[in-house]
Amino acid sequence: MKIGCPKEIKPQEFRVGLTPNAAREAAAHGHKVLVETGAGVGAGFDDAAYIAAGAGIARTAQEVFAETEMIVKVKEPQAGERALLRKGQVLFTYLHLAPDPDQTRDLLASGATCIAYETVTDDRGGLPLLAPMSEVAGKLAPQVGAWTLQKANGGRGVLLGGVPGVNPARVLVIGGGVVGTHAARVAAGMGADVTVLDRSLPRLRYLDDVFGRDFRTGYSSAGVLAEHLARADLVIGAVLIPGAEAPKLVHRADLALMKPGAAMVDVAIDQGGCFETSHATTHAAPIYEVDGILHYCVANMPGAVARTSTIALSNATLPFLLALADKGWRQACLDDPNLLNGLNVHAGHLTYAAVGAAQGIKV
């Protein structure tokens, strides 16, 4: 199969859909890979690395779309890219169609077969192509939180790990899923005094079994949360109710309970945020202050570490990509119900119930 990888054109997107190593694997399976010139530069991969891996380099995105049978990307196709898709072509990327009727309309009109990373599942009901980005955002959260706490940024001037004779900072992580667990591990590794709150007792049992020496766990009720907010130097919001907007767990009035200059990192901001006072920020201006409390609410945190994020994403997508290329999308989806769950659009038909429900389109 001919596989194409265009350069991402969404503003501030430095990741790329294929690493040179992934291109090498595809070439070893007998596929032809065509990468747009400069596509990997933001993630630290130059054209020469792709050529060494056996890929060809195209001068334009138009060439990539016109000459290949499957397009591999990171972000949802932008309007100009959607116009280049054609009937029978396969698109494999993040789509997030539910809140995006314009994109849904264009993908249906294109006649292409569109498989969304975010709805591919695994045998345990997890989302294997979303998890790597949650791992990245989780590990970044204490790092950006520590930076936000520095005096020059308006923070409390507290070092997460403390020093001999001075207590470490207290870090509260709300939500102990993929983001929360990675955040707690890193914060504990930096020497902070960490507590993770969750609503799921099985999850709390798991965290306590595996990480009981590194951090404490607590049941996330309003009362327990208020107690921990009053003590925390850094609060990391990492809750998710699948398919729903994030619940608002910290209200504006609660900020008065907190220490002046404390920091909050709302990782759940891409689902609307779990603090009432959160609004999405960018890497260019990541923090703002409300009632003396610093807020960090960057909606695409993994973009800050585009190289790590690209490699992590490519590691997760590669087995699915190879199945699609080796067998063709139809047989690959028939053989693997988890990949079939990724199918959102085919030949002018919407094939994913939740997107249909969100947009009033029959599936």
At 191, list the tokens.
């020497």
129 touches ligand NAD by CB under 6 A = no
145 touches ligand NAD by CB under 6 A = no
From candidates 27, 66, 299, 318, binder to ligand NAD by CB under 6 A: 299
Helix (H, G, I), strand (E, B) or coil at 32: strand
**Backbone CA torsion sign across 73, 38, 144, 142:** positive
DSSP 246: P
User: Based on CB atoms, which residue is closest to ligand NAD, 137 or 325?
Assistant: 137
User: Based on CB atoms, which residue is closest to ligand NAD, 158 or 297?
Assistant: 297
Q: For residue 281, which phi and psi values (nearest 5 degrees)?
A: -120, 175
The helix (H) or strand (E) run that includes residue 346 is strand 343-346
Q: How far apart are CA 41 and CA 234, in angstroms?
A: 34
159 touches ligand NAD by CB under 6 A = no
At 275, list the tokens.
């603090």
220 touches ligand NAD by CB under 6 A = yes
89 touches ligand NAD by CB under 6 A = no
From candidates 90, 107, 114, 133, binder to ligand NAD by CB under 6 A: 133
From candidates 1, 23, 171, 179, binder to ligand NAD by CB under 6 A: 179
Helix (H, G, I), strand (E, B) or coil at 285: coil
Q: How far apart are CA 23 and CA 5, in angstroms?
A: 10
How many helices (H) and strands (E) are present in the chain, helices listed first? Answer: 13, 15
Q: Is 295 a catalytic residue?
A: no
From candidates 203, 248, 259, 279, binder to ligand NAD by CB under 6 A: 203
Q: One of 47, 270, 336, 346 is an active-site residue; which one?
A: 270
Q: Is 96 a catalytic residue?
A: yes
User: Based on CB atoms, which residue is closest to ligand NAD, 155 or 180?
Assistant: 180
Which residue ranges make up the site for ligand NAD (CB under 6 A)? 133-134, 137, 174-180, 197-200, 203, 220, 238-241, 246-247, 249, 267-271, 299-302
Which residues are tagged catalytic?
A: 96, 270
